[in-house]
Amino acid sequence: MAFEKTPGWLDWYAGPSKPRFQVPPGAVDAHCHVFGPGDTFPFAPERKYTPCDASKQQLYDLRDHLGFARNVVVQATCHGADNRAMVDALVHSGGKARGIATVRRDVADADLHAMHAAGVRGVRFNFLKRLVDFTPKDELLEIAGRIARLGWHIVIYFESVDLPELWDFFTALPTTVVVDHMGRPDVAKPIDGPEFALFVEFMARHPNVWSKVSCPERLSVSGPPALNGEQNAYRDVIPFARRIVETFPDRVLWGTDWPHPNLKGHMPDDGLLVDFIPHIATTPDLRQKLLVDNPMRLYWPDETGE
Ligand code: 0GY
């Protein structure tokens, strides 16, 4: 089935540069997606955007090019609760990928067990209205209770202004909770202002909460290397990400977010995104935790990074 991309859609960056920063052996790209290909794995009727194709082989080629060893493939909203493309990527990864699914209340136990066998280790609850329709909290809590029994965790995606309203719901979740992209702070606001302070407090008070310190290209107002020069790329995001990495070094993850859905303005060179890592994790010890020890503990607890 042929799909027409959303007008203005930016395709992922072909031919990314080789990063100058060498990630430690066994590093995990803990936030990335596959899209289709649409003629094999059709996009969901309820989707809010139609992307370009971004296949598992293209993802794994990027992994090798950037020097990573493993991936965590997060179900993208354009596939709704049809997890076949993501699961297909896992089963063809040779054990080098884990997955985060989207499920509805009607998911069968047998399907959850099959996904577990394929490498799924969590579900994502998404609160961005531009990406998903509303799901009642009681349905999410029911799902949370079921997946907790499998030892899975919950990934939450929300915007910082919504944290006060969602706080009680998030703190009622019975599993490890991983926040996407630091809860999307507004980096034009002061780092010590009330909004980001609330997010730091959220993590400080709840030891089951982790954060991905990903997506400078999505959060930055100051912009990409082309505007700032490589040394200053996304410089406004650095203090926010660094604060989280240094305050919670054992509860942070990093990911490329390839193929970068819904970006406006520019598509990042993934090699330069990797070169951003030493700006936010400034010592070898912090980088080892961020890129290897933490994701291995969460996704491959029975293995050590190579
Ligand atoms: C991200 C961010 C976005 C999209 C999705 O599943 C998705 O569609 O996650 C976004 O548009 O901010 O993490 O990939």
pLDDT in tens, 19-69: 999 999 999 999 999 999 999 999 999 999 999 999 999 999 999 999 999
User: Which one of 257, 270, 275, 293 is the catalytic residue?
Assistant: 257
- As a whole number, mean pLDDT of residues 258-286 equals 95
Phi, psi of 198 (to 5 degrees): -65, -40
The DSSP code sequence of 72-126 is: EEEPPGGGTT--HHHHHHHHTTTT-EEEEE---TT--HHHHHHHHHHTEEEEEEE
What pLDDT is attached to residue 155? 98
Beta strand 209-212 with 252-253 is parallel
Cβ count within 10 A of residue 305: 18
Beta carbons of 16 and 270 less than 8 angstroms apart: yes
Q: Of 64, 101, 82, nearest to 258 (Cα)?
A: 64
CA 255, 132, 139, 183 torsion-angle sign: positive
Cβ count within 10 A of residue 243: 19
CA distance 73 to 60: 11
Helix 238-247 to helix 194-205 angle (10° resolution) is 20
Query: Helix, strand, or coil here: 3?
Result: coil
257 is catalytic: yes
Q: Of 147, 144, 157, 15, nearest to 76 (Cα)?
A: 157
Please list the alpha-helical segments (H only) found in 175-283.
Answer: 194-205, 216-219, 225-228, 238-247, 270-280
**Distance (Å) from CA 31 to ligand 1 centroid:** 10
**Whether the predicted model's global pTM rises above the 0.95 cut:** yes
Q: Which atom of ligand 1 is nearest to the CA of 263?
A: 11
The full length of the chain comes to 306
pLDDT in tens, 191-212: 999 999 999 999 999 999 999 9
Flag whether pLDDT at 227 surpasses 90.
no
Query: Helix, strand, or coil here: 268?
Result: coil
> What CATH number does the domain located at 28-303 have?
3.20.20.140
What pLDDT is attached to residue 249? 98
Q: Which atom of ligand 1 is nearest to the CA of 181?
A: 13
Q: Of 5, 56, 67, nearest to 287 (Cα)?
A: 67
Q: How confident is the model at residue 228 (pLDDT cuts 50, 70, 90)?
A: low
- As a whole number, mean pLDDT of residues 249-266 equals 97
Give, for ligand 1, the residue of 262, 263, 270, 273 to mutate: max count of ligand atoms closer than 8 Å to Cβ: 262
